[in-house]
Amino acid sequence: MMIQCAFVIGWYEGILSFLQLAVDQQDQLITALRGHMMLVAVPVGLAVLVAIPVGILATRNRYVEVVALGFANIMQTVPSLALIALMIPLGLGIGRRPAYVALFLYAILPILRNTYTGISGVDSGLKKAARGMGMTDLQVLQKIELPLAAPVIMAGLRTATVIIIGTAVLAAYVGGGGLGSFIMTGLGLVRDQLILLGAIPSALLALVTDFILGRLEEWITPRGLKV
């Protein structure tokens, strides 16, 4: 009983200590959160602009499919910290630039693969029927393929975003800022509260973002495909 009481008291004091630290560091926390959101939004946004068109092109051209998916797969095999650090000797220096490039490369695969899978999975009979009605290839893509593939593409976007939110904490090791700066400082000073001050907001950001993207996925999914 005494051990249980001591555990509860210690746990309670730990929470109070963490909350006090969050209040004391609120300005730095808000700045780090904003920086972390930029570390996610920029690479994922660029990945969407690149991966979706390339994924569509990969369904039309075997060479593009092999090269693009092969490159994206290779990027995923490189450890995230090593990939970010590799940007420094490549001439990008330190700060957010190497982090943006590395996180962009990391975000490509889920979006590219799901775009390719979604477009390839559209029933060929529907596409033949659409062309039989006089639709051009562009119209088939806009009115048939993309709407039907949208749930799969959105699933890739959700996966990429959650991955990048977690991976972006490593940007602090190259001076990229974000919530990882608290984790890095906490590890250096051996302070659990500082580590949690970076880890908990990062986890909450991932959950909230995944929820929002999930609702967006439901909204853009054609009614006939909803379960």
pLDDT band at 227 (very low <50, low <70, confident <90, very high): very low
Question: Domains of the chain: which residue ranges?
Answer: 2-225
Which is it for the CA torsion 93, 44, 169, 201, positive or negative?
positive
Token couple for 17? 């200590």
How would CATH label the architecture of 2-225?
Orthogonal Bundle (1.10)
Rg (CA), the chain: 22
Count of C-beta atoms within a 10 Å radius of residue 113: 22
Amino acid at 151: P
pTM listed for this prediction:
0.85
Using a pLDDT cut of 70, give the percent of the chain over it.
91
Q: Which among 112, 180, 117 is positioned nearest to 145, based on CA atoms?
A: 117
Position 141, amino acid = L
Residue 52 has pLDDT above 50, yes or no: yes
Q: Are 39 and 100 in contact (CB under 8 A)?
A: yes
Q: Mean pLDDT across the stretch 28-35?
A: 90
Q: What is the pLDDT of residue 208?
A: 94
> Average pLDDT over the chain, rounded to whole?
84
Distance of CA 225 to the CA centre of its chain: 25
